[in-house]
Amino acid sequence: MGSAVESGWVVSLSLAAKCGELSADPSRFLSLAFVVVVCWLATGLLHWVSPGGPAWGRYWWSRRRPWGLGGAIPGPSGLPVIGSIGLMSGLAHRKLAAAADAIPGARRLMALSLGDTRVVVTCDPDVARDILNSSDFAERPAKESAYGLMFHRAIGFAPYGAYWRNLRRIAGTHLFSPKQIFAFGRHRAEIAAQMVRALDGLASEPVQVRKIVKQASLNHVMWFVFGKQYDLERETDELKELRSLVEEGYELLGKLNWSDHLPVLAGLDLQRVRSGCSGLVRRVDRFVARIIEEHRVERGRDPKAAPGDFVDVLLSLQGSDRLSDSDMVAVLWEMIFRGTDTVAVLIEWVLARLVIHGEVLTRVQAELDAVVGRDRAVTASEAIGPLPYLQAVIKETLRVHPPGPLLSWARMSTSDASVGGGIVVPAGTTVMVNMWAIARDPTAWPDPLRFDPVRFLAPGGRAAEFPVMGSDLRLAPFGSGRRSCPGKGLAMATVELWVAALAHEFEWRTPSDADVDLSEVLRLSCEMAAPLTVTLRRRRRGREMA
């Protein structure tokens, strides 16, 4: 990079020195200007036609090694200046998979340019393992909306280092440990009962389940993080405000911001991302800071009381663990933001598959009747028990409909790093794993387009040893390695209990037996484009959830 900049200064100074001479001879000036323009266009063309497009071309040529560092990584050239930024709009996971399939060798690792940003994408589980489990890829790329929404001070986007490790340790100990997940079972069971009551009241008409499931997920997070309990059937002003904050945050963080990739646009804020984040973060700060202050006052009344929720935990930290109020706001806001989305999106996909595949729903209900009993409600302890077929259904849904098809947030290489047996990814490169494409790879999954939960069962109907927590990169919907989702255990426990309760209590159909629309929309997560609409009939009429 330095040689290119130095060359530019030499050319500029030389032109400045000759300006006096050229001004006296306009024809010579025009000739020189023509030569400069031609050289500029030729250089841009060379950058553009390089594998991966203009950002990669500039990188290689600035080092005078156009095919250096182990050879160029295959990839589309895209368009001049902007590269392949169009691949990141709409259903980016599908577009990136199609682009990789069209270029020999690109499924293993594909280079592309998003404006000035160098990017590599893998659709290969072995390369994905090299990336996700290496400390060379533990950093996050800069993202204006993430910084604007304070996430650079929370677990998701905090720079890899002591502060980030401390946050992971605190969350792992006080929120996401097996002991804490078990302790939260009462919360999950109570909210499941609220969902059943709410849906039962709507059973006489077609119901869109998304609103209820998202509200339940938000209530769950607010309960175990903030100690606040909301009634699912009664909406308060505080709840309306909270939902508005979360929805606005989804829109801003999920938006493809051109300013992240084209620095020339950074000062213009053409997509209103910066101003949107600025306005939203002021409202978030007021909302979360108010709750922190309520907890601080309560703790002042009884300083020796054991922490009751995660806010109390943060307020009780001492010494080097102690967080400033602004950092607490960032950490707690991220808990609300990320804890709500994935669970609700996954449950809607699971329910959609149960509606489509009636034989799968029947088998799930038979398993629940055998394990729980037709005359009993599902409780937290029973949902954690032996329900191998339901667990297989959830895993298969994660395979065909991963909520984060590109694992939500990318990684960035902090040094030149070798992956895939010798492919070198230069420092400063944004790295993505296309989990959606891996889960549809016929070399990894027999008949990958077929929805078949049995693939996750061993002979005899027992659960097969196939974890989805990140050790097997053929299916790692929560990521793997240092930056994997810290709440994955809690998310899976919640989804299992709530789906079990809903399947046990109701028969699920579509109105007039209409087809379920499985088309997608990719926001922060990959959701159903058309909310699932169902008609319900109680299986256990007159029996309330415990």
Strands, E assignment, 157-279: 207-208
How far apart, in whole angstroms, are the C-alpha atoms of residue 141 and residue 148? 14
How far apart, in whole angstroms, are the C-alpha atoms of residue 256 and residue 421? 32
Instruction: Count CB neighbours of 194 within 10 A.
Output: 19
- 121 phi, psi to nearest 5 deg: -130, 135
Which position has the token pair 């000759």?
18
- 424 phi, psi to nearest 5 deg: -100, 125
Q: Is 523 helix (H, G, I), strand (E, B) or coil?
A: coil
**3-class SS shares of the chain: helix, strand, coil, % to 5:** 55, 10, 35
> Which of 516, 515, 519 is closest to 529 using CA atoms?
519
Interhelix angle 237-254/273-301, rounded to 10 degrees, is 140
How far apart, in whole angstroms, are the C-alpha atoms of residue 344 and residue 57? 42
> Which of 482, 483, 532 is closest to 511 using CA atoms?
532
19 annotated among ligand-binding-site residues: no
Q: Checking DSSP bridges between strand 430-433 and strand 117-122, what pairing results, if any?
A: parallel
Alpha carbons within 13 angstroms on the beta-carbon side of residue 479 total 24
Cβ–Cβ < 8 Å for 404, 410 = no
Cβ–Cβ < 8 Å for 194, 231 = yes
Q: Per the annotation, where are the binding residues?
A: 485
Q: Per the annotation, where are the binding residues for heme?
A: 485
